[in-house]
Amino acid sequence: MIEMDKDKALIEYLSTYVTPERFDLFNKIVDQRTNYIAVVLEDIYQSQNASAVLRTCDCFGVQNVHVIENRNTFDVNPEVSLGSSKWLSIERHNQNENNTIQALSLLKNQGYRIVATTPHQNDVDLNNFDVTKGKCAFVFGTELKGISQKVKDNADEFLKIPMYGFTESFNISVSVAIILHYTTLLLRQRGVDWHLNPADRNALLLRYLMKNIKGSKYIAKTFLEKIAH
């Protein structure tokens, strides 16, 4: 049995371990998830900001978050994140001497354009950003200094949020919320194919079921061994 068929069979079996209402909720949420947009966080050190960003990603259906830990450890405050990290795909980049380059290279290989969120001579205002050009990974930097020079050197595009006051920048969690609200809205308005493909959709639905069912690993193992014979 091929992997996708295995996933479908296991989903159908595990769905009997949750209420129909819960299973319907999982399906509705998965149908609104996207990996067309990814969020990249470089050296965020305030747990309140980190947690608020995860909560925002979950609310706007952005599934993939990449966390770069060069100097600072990414800590989550449960009271702020409200369990959102449980439902997101969070990839930490902290094993190399230069985790920023490794993370950006990985994203580029996955077909993402690297969009640095900082004012720059070649930047574009958020309201002029073209979401139809292809998948985009928005990179947000540390609270104090913003993105690193390595991000600027490897970015494909630069994006800024128009501001009209004395303050030079938004709080990072506010910036993420503004950009994701606008770009996910555009995705739905411009006819972009932003939904997960069938294989990714099934994999995510299966993951949600596994997280929700007590003893799911044993249940799944027993079922897969049974259908293998």
Q: Is residue 3 part of a domain?
A: no
Q: Is residue 131 part of a domain?
A: yes
CB neighbours of 45 closer than 8 A, spacing ≥ 6? Answer: 72, 73, 142, 143
If pLDDT is split at 50, 70 and 90, which confidence band does 4 have? Answer: low
Q: Is residue 210 part of a domain?
A: no
Q: Average pLDDT of the chain?
A: 90
Q: Is residue 6 part of a domain?
A: no
Dmax over CA atoms of the chain, in Å, equals 69
What number of other Cβ atoms are within 10 A of residue 129's Cβ? 19
**∠ CA(167), CA(168), CA(169), 5° rounding?**
100
**Could you report the per-residue pLDDT of 16-57, keeping only the tens digit for each?**
999 999 999 999 999 999 999 999 999 887 878 888 999 999
pLDDT at 36: 98
- Specify whether the CB–CB gap between 176 and 39 falls below 8 A: yes
What pTM, to 2 d.p., does this model score? 0.91
Q: Is residue 136 part of a domain?
A: yes
CATH number at 184 reads: 3.40.1280.10
- Specify whether the CB–CB gap between 59 and 178 falls below 8 A: no
pLDDT at 77: 64
pLDDT at 3: 65
- Which range marks the domain in which residue 177 is found? 34-200
**Could you report the per-residue pLDDT of 79-120, keeping only the tens digit for each?**
655 578 889 999 999 888 889 999 999 999 999 999 999 876
Radius of gyration of the chain from Cα atoms?
Answer: 19
pLDDT at 22: 96
Indicate the residue type of 71.
R
By residue count, the chain amounts to 229
* Domain total in the chain: 1
pLDDT at 69: 87
- Specify whether the CB–CB gap between 227 and 9 falls below 8 A: yes
Structure tokens at 23: 């299973």
Interhelix angle for 198-212 vs 3-14, to 10°?
40
Cβ-count burial 133-144 (b if 16+ within 10 Å, e if not): eebbbbbbbbbe
Examine the pLDDT at 122 and tell me if it is beyond 80. no
φ/ψ (deg, to 5) at 151: -65, -45
Token pair 């595009």 is at which residue? 157
Distance, in Å, from the CA atom of 127 to the CA atom of 33, rounded to the nearest integer, reads 23
Q: Is residue 195 part of a domain?
A: yes
Q: Where are the alpha helices (DSSP H) in 32-168?
A: 47-59, 78-81, 99-109, 149-154
Q: What is the dihedral of CA 170, 174, 175, 177, to 10 degrees?
A: -160
Bridge partners of 150, per DSSP, are none
Q: Is residue 10 part of a domain?
A: no
Q: Is residue 160 part of a domain?
A: yes
**Could you report the per-residue pLDDT of 126-150, keeping only the tens digit for each?**
999 999 999 999 999 887 778 899 9
If pLDDT is split at 50, 70 and 90, which confidence band does 213 have? Answer: very high
